Amino acid sequence: MSGYQKSGIEPSFANELFTPLPKSRQFFTYLMNAIALGFTVIALIPLLSILWEIISRGISGLKLEMFVNPVIDFGFGNAILGTVVIVSIAALLSVPVGILTGIFLAEFGRINPAANFVRFITNILTGVPSIVVGVFAYSINVFVTKTFSAIAAGFALATIMLPVIVLTTEEALKLVPTDQRLASAALGGNRLQTTFRIVITAALPAITTGILLAVARASGETAPLIFTALFSLDWSEGLLSPTASLPVLIYNLYNDPDPQKHQLVWTTSIVLLSLILFVSIISRLITSKRKIK
Amino acid sequence: MKNSSNSPYNNSLNLNDENVELIGNNGIKGWFDQGFTWLVYTFTAITVAMLFVMSWTIFQEARPAIAKFGIKFLWGQDWDVGNEIFGALPYIYGTLVSSAIAILFAFPVGLAVALVTSENFLPRSIQTTLAFVVQLIAAIPSVIIGLWGIFVFIPVLEPLQRLIAKYFSWIPLFNTTEPFGTNMLTAGIILAIMILPTIAAISRDVLLAIPKELRSSSMALGSTRWETIFRVLLPAGFSGIVSAAMLALGRALGETMAVTMVIGNSSQISASLLDPGYTIPSVIANEFAEADRGLHIGALTYLGLVLFGVTLFVNIGAILLVEWVGKKNR
């Protein structure tokens, strides 16, 4: 007590200073801590459960010949090939357009009204439901070519990938310091040279990451494929005929009474999921490291 | 936003470095440069045109149905392919209700994840890992979540739903005698799982962007952690968190495969959440490939147009809100 009197603090005030929090406020803190941590644990359960169930149910059916047999012989060879073909077409269509639009946003004046407008449109494109994109691709392609085809599906997936590539390219290019552009310009480089020799080269890893993310997202899309690529049980006859893909295989066969086909669905899920998770984990790891620097 | 970037050139040089003109115009290189510029303009135009061509194409395809049913389509309740009578109400109802349930479940959980991964509850390394792992849910294909929903989640959920139906059937929302597991509530929960990463990630960014001083001053006045969160952080990040929820809502409205697999696909409108329902994306997914050209495709595309309109509305709202928040913070 004497200490407080010496420093001039009133004893009643000192008393209050050392009173613990009222029980109700303490209880509120503990309660909210418990709720927040509990909800976080709940949020993790579905992911862990999905991974666990798919691996435990699918792994027993995983055989090497599945990778070369078509669905009709209880494999997913044709679906893997179909997915690769469709996603390649999509990448071929969307990557050049996406990167150049990204260059426009990052290099041709970041804050002028035109760039803001393009950015706004791109953001809206990101939010268009994939089934609507499917209807769009169907109307354009299937109507023109009169058939369900890998090309129509590739077009649909390209529409989904495009905004992702644009936005990630812009982010990647923004990370390149302006000083480097000025240095290039000072040495007499024009915009083409500066963009391709300096900016793109520096941002290439990040752009690649963005493209990989877009590819990962597109490979899992089902809705726009079920009426553009349709499906086929056997190897596809060409780019202009119905083509199988891994997600549509799962969707078409998940209710199949044949136990062998049912097993195939779970095994296909392992393949598709490990493919997608592998690509997205790698690309996310690269980008997260980049941000810390 | 004038010269406000963090470049050292701002004061020493009269140069807005976000708009540096790097164009050269000497000889053949100048021509290359011009060509490159036009190439960039063309491809940018393609990106912009994509959205407009998409809207126009879908509108054109829906024209027969729009001409036949007009605006009455929106509240028509019958969907009879044989007699070519089409009404959208059951699907609109199902889409809105399942998405509303999804937001109801995903919002508190997503916000909790955002708080846990942005506040200092846990060591930094665990926080970033948690945020990363929750993000991985977004990478799982919808069709695989649907598969899990049908064969793993519904068997777990069904007994619970039966109990609810048994003891709470006096509430209209649960007035179903024998729920089967494939119903509106299940679809809503599955959707909640799928939109959780969106809410968690964006809310986390919003919370991390709030200046440290706000938090410190609240703590200095004697607030506990949760009092600070509720009275300072959440109000400060309110609009950002709301726009996160709206973006998530946009996702939920357009989500197709997982919902189609677990919602039961019945075009009867029922007040009970334990009855099967149907959504716009689901009916398009189920009927589009087999529909005849003409009125049926027209009606399905009309549905797509309605969905397009609703998600556009929600997404633009969210984007504008995000931009407004961004401007305010600057």
Query: Can you tell me the ipTM of this complex?
Result: 0.88
Q: Do A127 and B312 touch (CB under 8 A)?
A: yes
pTM: 0.89
* Sequential pLDDT tens for chain B (330 residues): 333 444 444 343 444 455 555 555 566 777 878 888 899 999 999 999 999 999 999 999 899 899 988 888 898 888 888 888 899 999 999 999 999 999 999 999 999 999 999 988 889 899 989 999 999 999 999 999 999 999 999 999 999 999 998 888 888 888 877 888 899 999 999 999 999 999 999 999 999 999 989 989 998 998 888 999 999 999 999 888 999 999 999 999 999 999 999 999 888 888 888 999 999 999 999 998 888 777 899 999 999 999 999 999 999 988 888 777 767 665
pLDDT of A259 higher than 50:
yes
User: For residues B98 and B279, what is the distance between their CA atoms, to the nearest angstrom?
Assistant: 8
d(CA A170, CA A152): 28
Distances (CA, A) of B15 to A103, B7, B21: 20, 10, 10
Distance from CA of A293 to the nearest CA of B (A): 16
CA distance A229 to chain B (A): 10
Q: What is the DSSP string of A43-105?
A: HHHHHHHHHHHHHHHHGGG--GGGGTS-GGGT--HHHHHHHHHHHHHHHHHHHHHHHHHHHHH
Whether residues B152 and A53 touch (CB distance < 8 A) is answered with yes
Alpha helices in B210-237, H assignment, sequence order: 212-220, 225-228, 234-236
pLDDT at position A62 is 87
- In Å, how far is B27's CA from the nearest CA of chain A? 11
Q: Answer positive or negative: Cα dihedral of B18, B317, B307, B183.
A: positive
Report the b/e string of A181-218 with b at 16+ CB within 10 A: bbebbeeebbbbbbbeebbbebbeebbebbbbbbbbbb
In A, minimum Cα distance to B106 occurs at A43
Looking at CA atoms only, how far is residue A266 from chain B in angstroms? 9
Is A292's pLDDT higher than 80? no
- B4-10: long-range contacts, CB 8 A cutoff, minimum separation 24: B4/B330, B7/A178, B7/A179, B9/A178, B9/A182
The residue count for chain A: 293
Of B316, B318, B280, residue with least CA distance to B198: B318
Closest by CA position to A221, among listed A133, A293, A284, A130 = A130
Residue B267: per-residue pLDDT: 86
Continuous segment of H or E residues that includes residue B130: helix B124-136
Interchain CB distance below 8 Å, B288 and A227: yes
- In angstroms, the CA B109 to CA A233 distance is 41
Give the separation between CA A26 and CA A29, rounded to whole angstroms: 5
| DSSP code for B85 | E
Q: In this predicted structure, what is the pLDDT of residue B134?
A: 92
Q: B65 is written with which tokens?
A: 């149905």
Check if the beta carbon of residue B94 is closer than 8 Å to that of residue B278.
yes
pLDDT at B188: 96
Nearest to B40 among A103, A134, A223 (CB): A103
More confident: A192 or A92: A92
Find chain A residues with C-beta within 8 A of B109's C-beta.
39-40, 42-43
**Which of residues 35 through 64 in chain B touch A, CB cutoff 8 A?**
36-37, 39-41, 43-44, 46-48, 50-51, 54, 57-58, 60-61
C-alpha distance from A140 to closest chain B C-alpha (Å): 7
For residue A2, the one-letter residue type is S
The token pair that represents A225 in the structure block: 């494929």
For residue B225, what is the nearest residue in chain A, using CA coordinates? A29
Pick the closest to residue B131 from A290, A216, A220, A44 (CA basis).
A44
Query: Residues A140, A142, A146, A150: is their CA dihedral positive or negative?
Result: positive
pLDDT for position B26: 61
CA distance A264 to A74: 7
Sign of CA dihedral A109, A111, A115, A118: positive
B-chain CB neighbours of A163 within 8 Å are 47
Nearest to A251 among B115, B136, B257 (CB): B257
Asked if the Cβ–Cβ distance from A185 to B20 is below 8 Å, we say: yes
By C-alpha distance, the chain A residue nearest B44 is: A101
Joined tokens for residue A43:
């949020």
- What's the pLDDT at A15? 76
What tens digit of pLDDT does each residue of A48-88 get? 999 999 999 989 888 888 888 888 888 899 999 999 999 99
Average pLDDT (A23-30) is 90
pLDDT given at position A218: 93
CA–CA min distance A158, chain B (Å): 11
> In whole angstroms, what is the distance from residue B298 CA to residue B284 CA?
11
Which three-class secondary structure state does DSSP give residue B2? Answer: coil
Residue among A47, A130, A159 minimizing CB distance to B137:
A47
Q: What count of CB pairs under 8 Å joins A to B?
A: 287
Residue type present at position B72: K
pLDDT in tens, A116-152: 999 999 999 999 999 999 999 998 876 677 788 899 9
Cα-Cα-Cα-Cα dihedral sign, residues B221, B223, B224, B226? negative
Query: Chain-wide mean pLDDT for chain A?
Result: 87
Task: Kindly state the average pLDDT of the residues A173-177.
Answer: 89
